[in-house]
Amino acid sequence: MLAGAFALGLTPLASYDVWWHLATGDYLLGHWAFPSVDPFSYPLPGTAVVFSAWLFDVAIALAQRVFGLHGLSWVQAGLVAWVFGVIYAQGLVADLKPAFCAAGLLVVAPLLRFHFLLRPHLVSYGLLGLLLLFLRLGKRTGLRRYLVAAGLTLWCWRQIHGSYPFGILVLSLFLALVPAYRSSGSRFVLSMVERLLFASFGALALVLPPLGFSGIQWIVGTLRLTVVTRGVEITEWLSPWRLEGFGWLWIYALVAGVGIALSRRSRNLFSGALFALGGAMAFQSVRHIAFFVILTIIPATVGWLDISSQLARRLPRKKCMGRWIPLLLVLASACFLVVKGLVAGHPPMGTGVVQNVFPSRAADFVESRDLRGNLFNNQRIGGYLIWRLGPTGRKVFWDSRFLVHLPRMIEVWKAEQSPSSSQAVADLIRKFDFSYAIVDYRISDPITKRLLADPKWGLVYWDDNAMVLAQMSRAEPRLHARRYRVVRPWDRGLKFLEEPRPRLLRAREELRRKLLEDPGCSKAAALEGLLLLRLRRFEEAIVCLRRFLVRERESLWVRLVLVQALLVGDRPGEALAALEPLRGHGSPRAEELEREAERSLAAIP
C-alpha cells in the first residue's frame, strides 16, 4: 500500500507556489533571520510579511540543494507515502485488519490525488493524520503523553502551514466530547482542569516562537482575504459543486456518512462532529476536500465493515460467501475508482518539472538581454519568476501569496471596476512605471490587456508558455529589431490572419524568424500552417506541418491544423490517417474534423 502511495505521488513539480517556497527557504538559509518586509516584490515597501511556512520552506530548499529539482519529486512522493502511512496506522489502532484498511485508503486515493502537490498543505495532511493517531492512542491507553505529543504536533503544524487552527479545533472537540479510557476500562481519566490545560497547550501554538503573535495576524488576514475575494474565480477556493470532476466527493460523503451513522463502533459524538466539520469545509472549498477525507476515512471504513459483518451474520454463509463480502465490495469499489480517477489524473507520473507550464525560456530571454527596471508579471507565474530572477536582483509585481498582495489586488480590482476603467488602469501603469513584462496566455488581469493593446509596448519574445513585452521608448535598439509587429500569438480569434496580403506576408517572415530561433515552438508552427492556408498555399502548409511533427514533438494544435490542410487539399484519406494519434483524446475539434473527413471520403465515387 505504501509503495502504491509513493508511486501515486511521484509526479513532476506542477505547483506554481513551490517556487516562492524554494526562494523563501534559500533566503532564510542565507540570512538566518525573518525579513521585516517582503524581499521578493517591489510595489509593497513597508508591508509586513508573515512567513507562516518557514519550516517547510527551509526543508525543501535544503532538499533541492542536495537532490536537485528532480529529487523534489521523490520528496513529494515520500510525503504522500507518509500521509497514507499515518492514516493506515490509525486504522490499525482502530483494530482494522490491514487488508481492509489498505482497501479503504485505495478507494479514496483518486479524491486525494488532486491535492498531492509539493506544498505545505501536503505536510499538514500528514500532521492532521498524526494528530488523530495520537488522540486515538491516548483514548485507547489513557496515557497523557499522547496528548502532549498531540500538542507538539500542533506546534510543528504552526511552523509549516496556516491551517493549524483547524488542528486546534480538532483537539478541542476531542477533549470536549471524548472521555479518556484506560486499558482497565475506568472512565474520565482526565479531569476538566486537565482537559483545559491540554487545550490551552494546543492553543499556545498560536503564539509560541519563533513566529510569535504573527499567527493571530495570519488568522485575521485569512478572514479578511476570504471576505474581500468573495466571488473571485480562484479554483481551489471554489465549492466543488461549481466545478466538474468532483462528483465522487458527493458519493463519498454519502457513503461515509451512512457508515458512520449506522455503525455501532463509529457512531459517537466525536466522529459525528468531525464528519460535520470536515463536510462543511469540503463543500465550501475544493482545497479542504483532503481534510474531510482524512478526518472520516477510518471511521467510515470501520463503520461499513461493522455493517457488513452484521449483514453477513444474518445471511446464509454459503450463499453470500460470509465474511468475504465486505472485502470484495471494498476492493471492487477501489478498482473502479482507481480506473476512473487515477488513469485520468493530472499531473502525469514522472519526475522533474511539468513541461510547457512555467515561463523558463522567457526568464532565460530576460536574463540574456539583461532587461532591467520595474517588471510586470501575471500573478500566477510570479512565484516561478521569484525563484528564477530573484537571485539576479529582479523583483516581481505580485505572485500567488494572496495575503501579501491583498492591497495590490484590491487596487487593481477597483481600477478595473471603476466607471473610467481604461484611464484608471493606465494611471496604475504610470504609477508603477513598468519597463518590461512577462505574461502568459491566460490573460485575465486588466494591466496585461492594456499593455497588449498599447502601441507604446511591443512584443519582443514569445514561446508556447509566455510572452515578453517591453516599453519601446526605453528599449535598446536590438530589441526594436526583435519586435513582432504583425503576429499576435495571444489572439485566440486569430484576427491578424484577416489582414491584407502584404501584412500576411510580413507575418510569414516573423513566423519563419521565430521558427529559426525556436524550432520546437508548436504555437509558431501551427500559426504558420494557418497563415499558409490563408494564403492558399496548401501543399506548402502540409509539408511544413508534417516536418514539425516528425522533427520536433507531438502537438495537438499542429496536428489539427495539418488535418485541416489535408481536408482543404482534398485528401480525406490522409486526413483520417493523420487523426489516428488523436483517437480517444477527447478533443471536440478532432472529432469534428474526423466526421468531415469521413463525409468527404464517402462522397468520392
Query: Tens digit of pLDDT for each residue in 364-383?
Result: 999 999 999 999 999 999 99
Q: Can you tell me the distance from the alpha carbon of 234 to that of 531, in angstroms, rounded to the nearest whole number?
A: 36
Whether pLDDT at 232 is above 70: no
Q: Give phi and psi for 592, each to the nearest 5.
A: -65, -45
Output the pLDDT for position 226.
57
Output the pLDDT for position 30.
92
- Per domain, the residue ranges of the chain are 2-37+44-217+239-336, 360-482, 495-603
DSSP 52: T
Q: State the chain's mean pLDDT as an integer.
A: 82
Count of C-beta atoms within a 10 Å radius of residue 276: 11
Count of C-beta atoms within a 10 Å radius of residue 270: 16
Helix (H) or strand (E) holding 256, with range, is helix 247-262
Output the pLDDT for position 4.
76
The three three-digit cell numbers of residue 574, written as one number: 490522409
Helix (H) or strand (E) holding 458, with range, is strand 457-462
pLDDT tens sequence across 145-204: 787 888 889 888 988 887 888 888 898 888 888 775 444 444 445 666 667 777 776 666
> For 24-50, what is the mean pLDDT?
82
Find the length of the chain.
Answer: 605
Q: Can you tell me the distance from the alpha carbon of 121 to that of 106, in angstroms, rounded to the nearest whole number?
A: 21
Concatenated DSSP letters for 338-407? HHHHTTT-SSPS-SSB-TTTS-HHHHHHHHHHT--SEEEE-STTHHHHHHHHGGGT--BS--S-TTTTHH
Output the pLDDT for position 235.
63
Whether pLDDT at 408 is above 80: yes
Output the pLDDT for position 575.
85
Output the pLDDT for position 216.
61
- The CATH number that domain 495-603 falls under is 1.25.40.10
- The CATH number that domain 360-482 falls under is 3.40.190
Output the pLDDT for position 532.
92
Q: Please tell me the least confidently modeled range out of 222-226, 418-422, 533-537, 567-571.
A: 222-226
Strand partners, 260: none
Q: Can you tell me the distance from the alpha carbon of 94 to that of 298, in angstroms, rounded to the nearest whole number?
A: 8
Residue that the C-alpha cell 499531473 belongs to: 347
Output the pLDDT for position 344.
47
pLDDT tens sequence across 68-93: 998 999 999 999 999 999 999 999 98
Identical fold for domains 360-482 and 495-603, yes or no, is: no
Long-range contact pairs involving 538-546 (C-beta distance under 8 Å, separation at least 24): 538/565, 538/568, 538/569, 539/569, 541/565, 542/566, 542/569
pLDDT tens sequence across 512-545: 999 999 998 999 999 999 999 999 898 999 999 8
Output the pLDDT for position 26.
95
For the entire predicted model, the pTM comes to 0.86
Q: Can you tell me the distance from the alpha carbon of 9 to that of 53, in angstroms, rounded to the nearest whole number?
A: 21
pLDDT tens sequence across 320-351: 555 555 556 655 655 555 555 455 455 677 78
Percent of the chain topping pLDDT 90: 32
CB 271 within 8 A of CB 299: yes
